[in-house]
Structure 1
């Protein structure tokens, strides 16, 4: 394990990062995406199975770290209420999944927007 807290989290497997993501997002009441200079969000299509997804992170530092080397990408916060009210219906309508907390390895948790919303609401109910 690394001494760097960011690296320690990035070294977790996809499921551990998913749990970390839920707790961090509920605590901060926001999640992070990457946008380009035209304010378009980053969308990734998996080469393996062709699934299109919106990558999301729990804090801006992880999004910034992921975007290293991509000059026109910058982190943007989405409040939890906005995510629930606007993004989840939009992602569902567009058939986009959510790639929760991509890390150093290619392993990540891909889920439907509605399922992520339910998981976040479940953690919220415990607060």
Structure 2
């Protein structure tokens, strides 16, 4: 059942996945990223750095790489601390890869 739910959500269109992301983050009051002992996972290029985020651990686990592990970020910390830092550093969000 869990795999069917994950597949169904992954098969949604990008706007539908984004809506799902917003609903779940609102419900659980947390965002998931990938982190290792050095810090948060980033991706992209020198011209455009992206910070990947998901609404639930199961989706972050599907995309983890190297030594990075799915790590929750409380919504308050995400909005009050992390988003301003990302904006200052010109890092864009990659929602629900």
Same fold (TM over 0.5): yes
Task: Give the superposition deviation at 1:25.
Answer: 0.2
Structure 1 runs of 4+ with >2 Å offset: none
Equivalent residue pairs, number? 95
Question: Deviations along 1:36-56, whole A, 9 cap, x unmatched?
Answer: 2x2411111159xx4211010
**Residue aligned with 2:21, SS:** helix
Question: Deviations along 1:78-121, whole A, 9 cap, x unmatched?
Answer: 0111011101110011100101111xxxxxxxxxxxxxxxxxxx
Task: Give the superposition deviation at 1:15.
Answer: 1.0
User: 1:77, 1:29 → 2: CA distance?
Assistant: 10
Task: Give the superposition deviation at 1:71.
Answer: 3.6
Would you say 1:97 and 2:92 are equivalent positions? Answer: yes
Structure 2: any 5+ residue segments left out of the alignment? none
TM-score, with structure 2 as normaliser: 0.90
TM-score, with structure 1 as normaliser: 0.70
Which position in structure 2 is the counterpart of 1:83? 78
Q: Larger strand proportion, structure 1 or 2?
A: 2
Which position in structure 1 is the counterpart of 2:58? 61
User: 1:74, 1:39 → 2: CA distance?
Assistant: 12
Which position in structure 1 is the counterpart of 2:29? 29
Which position in structure 2 is the counterpart of 1:42? 41
Task: Give the superposition deviation at 1:12.
Answer: 1.1
* Structure with bigger gyration radius: 1
Cα RMSD after superposing both structures: 1.6
